[in-house]
Structure 1
Amino acid sequence: MQKRVVITGIGIWGCLGKDTKEVTESLRAGRSGIGLDEERLTYGYQSALTGIVERPKLKGLLDRRLRTGMAEEGEYAFMASREAFAMAGITEDDLLKNEVGCIFGNDSSLTPVIEAAAIMNEKHDSQLLGSGYIFQSMNSTVTMNLSTIFHLRGINFTVSAACASGSHSIGLGFMMIRQGLQDMVLCGGAQEVNLYSMATFDALGAFSKRMDDPQRASRPFDRDRDGLIPSGGAAALVLEDYDHALARGANILCEVTGYGFSSNGGGISQPSDDGSVLAMQRAMTDAAISPADIDYINAHATSTPQGDMFEGKALGRLFGGERAWISSTKGMTGHECWMAGASEVVYSVLMMQNDFIAPNINFENPDPHFDPLHLATETIETEVRTVLSNSFGFGGTNSALVIRK
């Protein structure tokens, strides 16, 4: 018999705020976290637009030995995980006495690689690099640091699936617990936002050039959308076996009931409405629900001409004429990339907990492609019981999750 899987804690650190309280206020107000980093233009970027994410001050929270091996996204992940464990009522003693897993989706860490290469090019002596760079630069930097800091002794690995990574991490944690392999898994996504991290992405011409009005630049589903805006931070969720949560008297936020996935099998950067539909259908089948049962869909829509169009087609095929409200929170956050699949589940949980649907901001000029969609273009005060969250990424990877109140 399959176990039920619940969420007992969430944490967030990003451009909308440094904790769930600040982020809830931003979501409800439709407040953008996007700004300009002029240094990017000097460096050679085509666009200076980015999510503005404050670096946490870890001195006093972590000793120097633990901080040495942490890359930027690891710092964000630590702050988000710290909040998630606190919300779940998990103490350090609990972590020492119980086996807790850790699965995160995160991008590569460019700063330590570039800094180490600069030292080698100038000094030609690897002994000058110290011990921190290796742990900062490995793709598993987030999970190895979190497992060390929080003494996590369960499943421990990193998901690298482009912009669906955070969503897949939750799906995999969900499967581990449902099959009885773990009682509790810390899941999430993390993304660096430094100067170096997005230059190759900028080379594709995928970023918005609407630099005269940063907070209106990300325009999911709008006819005049001209590209995404990079962003980042970290989101963390404590997934737990339902009976385990009940036994320890945990406050249950919601239940994860479905996970669906697919791969497009086409061009490396080519979206597919067929692949998107399959992932959503699998998630709803897994949750034993139909499109009519969905209250809200947190769309992947990144504000790119092609990506939004293909997701819109997929949503129209499944939800045209249905009651589900649809919005992309990326109008406020920009595209949080490897973090996005996890952060958007956190945003959806916050909407559930506070009875509102966050708006798809900057939707000013309708696109005929999206006529069948029930877009929430302003904040809607309503009970939210069942959510579908979509995440798609380069290489054709698709992930969809269903959570229920």
Structure 2
Amino acid sequence: MNKRVVITGMGIYSCIGKNPDEVRDSLYVGRSGIILDPVRKEMGYRSGLTGFVERPALKGMLDRRSRIMLPEQGEYAYMATVQALEQAKLDEDYINEHEIGILYGNDSSAKPVIDATDIMREKKDNMLIGSASVFQTLNSTITMNLSTIFKLRGVNFTISAACASGSHAIGLGYHFIKTGLQDCIITGGAQEINCYSMATFDALSAFSIHEENPQTASRPFDRSRDGLIPSGGGATIVLESLESAIKRGATILGEVIGYGFSSNGEHISNPTVSGPVRSLQMAMKDAGMNTADIDYINAHATSTPAGDTSEAKALYTVFGEGTVPVSSTKSMTGHECWMAGASEIVYSLLMMHHGFIAPNINFEHPDEDSVKLNIVKTTAEKDINVFLSNSFGFGGTNSSLIVRKWSK
């Protein structure tokens, strides 16, 4: 069974906007969401740079019990999911009558673990931790909370695959629907942005230290890049079988036509070229596409010297020199980690629907590898019929997704 899989809803809560309209405007003008956080510097971070994401006010939207179960990233995921369900026109009655699933990317829940541990160390009484803490601390916190809040009765689990988590969640949702196991799945990714969640990354000297001008610090593919900037938020995509979407009369935003994945099988943190090449080739084969069919690539490119180089080489290997337009929205958002693979599908869908390619801001001087790519420096008006989005993560996990503009 090979069902067609379409997108009927999307939601986004990020450092460049709290909803699709705000995010679209930021993408179009190349607006950065990066700030310098003094709290991180006080804590001893090497780099205080971060994407700034405002915590949502959920009082009045959710009952108290639901609110205290949600960690920070769960709040972002909830906001994005409310938007996506509204756009997909999946109301409470429909959800109650149908088997809707959830597959969400998340690979940490640092602050609740630290908060609980601090109480134990100080008070020596675990009864003071509170009954909600356990539901915040687990990696599966988002799927367990959202499935309860929205009363979902389909597939329900979390994908933890480092910075490819959100992309793999969408890819797995695509396969569950394509093979007829589900008709509709809420997918996406979320990332906490509190100061505790990124300390271990900073300990690797992975972050940029261009603190004098935060908005120019994220420089994917640029020769002067010196590291990524951590960021976060939540992004939700509603996937649905074509039959289900048509039967409901849903508005179709796009069609997922390709998913490729691979493992580098080498160093736990150093990237390779061959792993991403296999992921890209699998996605292209799955989609039945030639390289000339891809109108835009949203690169993983996080602004690290090694990572951007390996991806540039992989893209050159598969697509050749200077053909497909490429940009990394991380130049504006920073690296949204577990969320990035999902948010970048939202960003690319917004570009597709509004006929433009967002710029790879801060790209001034290519290196020997990025000079071979067609990197978009300023906003370009373009009809996008098919886009590809890459996501790669620690442990050598790779994911590539291909989405086509909807046509009957």
Q: TM-score range by the shorter chain?
A: over 0.9
Offset of 1:107 from its aligned partner?
2.3
Offset of 1:321 from its aligned partner?
3.4
1:116 aligns with 2:116: yes
CA root-mean-square deviation: 0.7
Q: How many residues are treated as equivalent by the alignment? A: 405
Q: Counterparts of 1:230-269 in structure 2 under 5 Å?
A: 230-269=230-269
Match of 2:377?
A: 377
1:46-94 CA-to-partner distances (Å, cap 9, x unmatched) read 0000000000000000000111111000000000000000011111111
Match of 2:168?
A: 168
> Do 1:11 and 1:235's aligned partners in 2 also have CA atoms closer than 8 Å?
yes
- Cα separation, 2, equivalents of 1:306 and 1:152: 41
> Do 1:291 and 1:322's aligned partners in 2 also have CA atoms closer than 8 Å?
no
1:64 aligns with 2:51: no
Q: Structure 2: which amino acid aligns with 1:201?
A: F
- Cα separation, 2, equivalents of 1:355 and 1:264: 35
> Do 2:322 and 2:372's aligned partners in 1 also have CA atoms closer than 8 Å?
no
1:209-250 CA-to-partner distances (Å, cap 9, x unmatched) read 000000000000000000000000010000000011001100
- Cα separation, 2, equivalents of 1:323 and 1:114: 48
- Cα separation, 2, equivalents of 1:372 and 1:136: 45
Match of 1:360?
A: 360
TM-score (norm 1): 0.99
> Which segment drifts farther, 367-376 or 339-348?
367-376
> Do 2:323 and 2:373's aligned partners in 1 also have CA atoms closer than 8 Å?
no
- Cα separation, 1, equivalents of 2:139 and 2:395: 18
Match of 1:29?
A: 29
1:377-397 CA-to-partner distances (Å, cap 9, x unmatched) read 110111001001000000000
> Do 1:81 and 1:236's aligned partners in 2 also have CA atoms closer than 8 Å?
yes
- Cα separation, 2, equivalents of 1:386 and 1:345: 12
- Cα separation, 1, equivalents of 2:382 and 2:292: 17
1:187-223 CA-to-partner distances (Å, cap 9, x unmatched) read 0000000010100100000000000000000000000
Q: Counterparts of 1:131-150 in structure 2 under 5 Å?
A: 131-150=131-150
> Do 1:316 and 1:370's aligned partners in 2 also have CA atoms closer than 8 Å?
no
1:72-121 CA-to-partner distances (Å, cap 9, x unmatched) read 00000000000000011111111111110000001211111111111111
> Do 2:107 and 2:159's aligned partners in 1 also have CA atoms closer than 8 Å?
no
Match of 2:5?
A: 5
Residue segments in structure 2 that go unaligned for 5+ positions in a row: none
Residue segments in structure 1 that go unaligned for 5+ positions in a row: none
- Cα separation, 1, equivalents of 2:350 and 2:314: 26
Offset of 1:322 from its aligned partner?
5.8
Q: Counterparts of 1:39-54 in structure 2 under 5 Å?
A: 39-54=39-54
Offset of 1:324 from its aligned partner?
1.4
Match of 1:203?
A: 203
3-state DSSP of counterpart to 1:243: helix
3-state DSSP of counterpart to 2:24: helix
1:337 aligns with 2:337: yes
- Cα separation, 1, equivalents of 2:129 and 2:226: 41
Q: Structure 1: which amino acid aligns with 2:90?
A: I
Match of 2:184?
A: 184
> Do 1:295 and 1:323's aligned partners in 2 also have CA atoms closer than 8 Å?
no
> Do 1:292 and 1:322's aligned partners in 2 also have CA atoms closer than 8 Å?
no
Identity %: 62
Q: Structure 2: which amino acid aligns with 1:252?
A: I
Q: Structure 1: which amino acid aligns with 2:255?
A: E
